[in-house]
Amino acid sequence: MKIEVRCGGCGRGYLVDPAKVPPSGSVQACQTCGSAIELRPPAASASAVSAMAPQEDRSAPAAAVQPVICPRCGLHFTPEHASLPSTASRRPRVLLVEDMDFFQDIARQALEATADVVAVKSVIDARRALAEGRFDLLLLDLALEGEDGRDLLRTLPFKPCPILIFTARDESDMYGDAWRELKEYGADDVVVKGMQMGETLARKVAALLAPAV
């Protein structure tokens, strides 16, 4: 199974077969911007199990692929195919990246009946949350202080989960070149902020989570 690895410099994605990564790992240069992309091989398989272990332990399946290291921030990210179990047996986890308490509260109220929401206010905290935990959906504001939502999309080493853009821009501005750029970086849909956005937000989140059920 191949995984998508994104360049930390320009955001370009590459499909990588973990089985073909050498045991010592490798570093490849992005064909677009030249940034270094570090790859790690799968963890030691059953052949590395001690000879003193029972036979059934030596035949256990190989361990999952090691996390990918982001060349920009150094955090480790878990590939998408090793994500959380099906949401059929648990509540989905949503990472909300929004720096205004007012809109955080609206989003929480809209989703609290169906999902567990983890809220952060900056791109730095969002990267850390994605590296330390696994989420079923990323709800991302574009206009953040410091690095904005586009910076996060461009620098993630791969797409960790479905991505819903959460923006105050008029919906008509989110199509054409602006939307094509966001789609290239992994965005799946957009919801426009407003006082009455709760129902629309809940519906779009449910649609993006549906394939994981």
pLDDT along the chain (213 residues), means of 10: 67 72 73 69 42 40 52 53 54 93 93 93 91 90 87 86 84 68 89 86 91 52
Residue with tokens 């992005």: 30
Distance CA 16, CA 112 (A): 37
What is the Cα–Cα distance from 7 to 14, expressed in whole angstroms? 8
- Please choose, from the candidates 83, 88, 173, 177, the residue with its C-alpha nearest in 3D space to the C-alpha of residue 136: 83
Residue 27: what pLDDT?
74
Residues 200 and 106 sit within 8 Å (Cβ to Cβ): no
∠ CA 42-47-53, nearest 5°, is 125
> Which residue in this structure is represented by tokens 């998408």?
80
Q: Which of 125, 197, 183, 117 is nearest to 154 (CA)?
A: 183
The two three-digit tokens of residue 60, written as one number: 């256990």
pLDDT of 139 reads: 95
Q: What is the pLDDT of residue 121?
A: 94
Helix (H, G, I), strand (E, B) or coil at 96: strand
